[in-house]
Chain A
Amino acid sequence: MSFIEYGDTIKDGDTAIVFLGHESMFPVKVQHGTVTQTKYGVIRHSTDLIGKKYGSKVTCSKGGWVFILHPTPELWTMNLPHRTQILYSTDISIITMMLELKPGSIVCESGTGSGSLSHALIRTVAPTGHLYTVEFHQQRAEKAREEFREHGVEHLVTVTNQDVCKNGFGVSNIADAVFLDIPSPWEAIGHAKSALKAEGGRICSFSPCIEQVQRTCLAMEEHGFTEINTLEILLRVYNVRTISLQIPDLGKAAEDNSSTGFDSSSPSHQGSPCANLQQGTVQFKSGVPLREVVGHTGYLTFATKS
Chain B
Amino acid sequence: AMEGGPRIREGDCAVLKRDEVFKAVSVLRRRKIIFEKQWFYLDNAIGHIYGTTFEVTSGGNLQPKQEVEEAATETKEAGTDNRNIVDDGKSQKLTHDDIKALKDKGIKGQEIVQQLIENSTTFRDKTEFAQDKYIKKKKKKYEAVITIVRPSTRILSTMYYAREPGKINHLRYDTLAQMLTLGNIHAGNKMIVMETCAGLVLGAVMERMGGYGSIIQMYPGGGPVRAATSCFGFPKPFFDNLHEFPLSKVQSLLSGTFTAETLPADPEENALGEEESNGLSEEKQTSLQETEEEPAPEAAVELNPPEEQDAMDINAEDVEFKENKEKENKDSVREKQMKQWERRKKLIEAAALLGEKNADGLIVASKFHPTPLLLSLLEFVAPSRPFVVYCQYKEPLLECYTRLRERGGVINLKLSETWLRNYQVLPDRSHPKLTMSGGGGYLLSGITVVLDKGKSDPSNSEALRMEEPSSKRCKLQDLPC
Contacts and interface: CB of A to CB of B under 8 A. Distances in A.
Contacts of A93: 174, 177-178, 180-182
B66 interface: no
A54 interface: yes
Interface string B311-347: 0000000000000000000000000000000000000
B182 A291 contact: no
Interface in A123-150: 123-124, 126-128
B389 to A, nearest CB: 13
Interface in A288-306: 288, 291, 299, 301, 304, 306
Given A231-B422, A301-B425, A53 B383 contact: yes
Contacts of A287: 394, 397-398, 415, 442
B152 A100 contact: yes
Interface stretch (B116-124, B194-202, B446-454): B446-454
Given A5-B188, A217-B425, A285-B402, A57 B449 contact: yes
B6 interface: yes
B187 interface: yes
A103 B186 contact: yes
A123 B182 CA distance: 12
B182 A55 contact: no
A217 B474 CA distance: 45
Contacts of A213: 423, 425, 430
Contacts of B174: 93-94, 97, 233
A154 to B, nearest CB: 17
Most buried by A among B412, B422, B442: B412
A202 B316 CA distance: 37
A239 interface: yes
Contact of A73 (B2, B184, B447): B184
B252 to A, nearest CB: 27
A199 B188 contact: no
Given A199-B2, A213-B430, A72 B449 contact: no
A214 interface: yes
A291 B51 contact: no
Contacts of A126: 186-187
A74 B185 CA distance: 11
A81 interface: no
B177 A236 contact: no
A12 interface: no
A294 to B, nearest CB: 11
Nearest to B361: A6
A130 to B, nearest CB: 14
Chain B interface residue count: which class? Answer: 35 or more
A234 interface: yes
Contact of A230 (B184, B212, B418, B422): B422
A80 interface: no
A90 B2 contact: no
Interface string B384-423: 1110000000110111011000000001111111111111
A53 B459 contact: no
Chain A interface residue count: which class? Answer: 35 or more
Interface string B422-445: 111111001000000000001000
A242 B383 CA distance: 28
Given A70-B385, A287-B394, A231 B421 contact: yes
Interface string A98-117: 10101110000000000000
Given A240-B398, A240-B415, A231 B383 contact: no
A156 to B, nearest CB: 11
B208 interface: yes
B432 to A, nearest CB: 8
Interface string A39-66: 0000000000000011111000000010
A231 B415 contact: no
A56 B383 contact: yes
B127 interface: no
Contacts of B210: 102-104, 128
A55 B466 CA distance: 17
Nearest to B381: A55
A100 B158 CA distance: 13
Contacts of A104: 210
A264 B340 CA distance: 54
Contacts of A236: 416-419
Contact of A214 (B386, B416, B417, B427): B427
Contacts, number: 202
Interface in A230-258: 230-242
Interface string A198-225: 1110000000001001100110000000
Nearest to B150: A100
A288 B417 CA distance: 12
B415 A238 contact: yes
Given A22-B466, A217-B425, A97 B153 contact: yes
B471 interface: yes
A200 B5 contact: yes
A103 B208 CA distance: 6
A229 B422 contact: yes
A282 B360 CA distance: 41
Contact of B176 (A57, A74, A97, A291): A97
Contact of B412 (A19, A200, A242): A19
Contacts of B468: 22, 240
Contacts of B363: none
Interface string A276-292: 00000000011110010
A210 B471 contact: no
B418 A234 contact: yes
A233 B422 CA distance: 9
A230 B420 CA distance: 11
B421 A232 contact: yes
Given A199-B6, A240-B402, A301-B425, A233 B419 contact: yes
Given A98-B154, A230-B423, A238 B416 contact: yes
Contacts of B382: 6, 8, 55
B1 A238 contact: no
Contacts of B372: none
B212 A103 contact: yes
A232 B212 contact: no
A82 B180 CA distance: 25
B378 to A, nearest CB: 12
B184 A72 contact: yes
Nearest to A127: B187
B406 to A, nearest CB: 12
A180 to B, nearest CB: 16
25 contacts: A4-B186, A5-B188, A6-B360, A6-B385, A55-B383, A55-B448, A69-B449, A74-B184, A90-B418, A102-B210, A103-B186, A103-B210, A103-B212, A126-B187, A200-B1, A230-B423, A231-B420, A231-B421, A231-B423, A232-B421, A237-B415, A287-B394, A287-B415, A291-B477, A306-B1
Given A57-B452, A231-B420, 13 more contacts: A6-B189, A20-B466, A53-B383, A56-B383, A74-B181, A97-B153, A102-B207, A102-B210, A104-B210, A199-B4, A237-B416, A287-B398, A299-B423
Closest 3 CB pairs of A and B: A55-B383, A103-B210, A199-B5
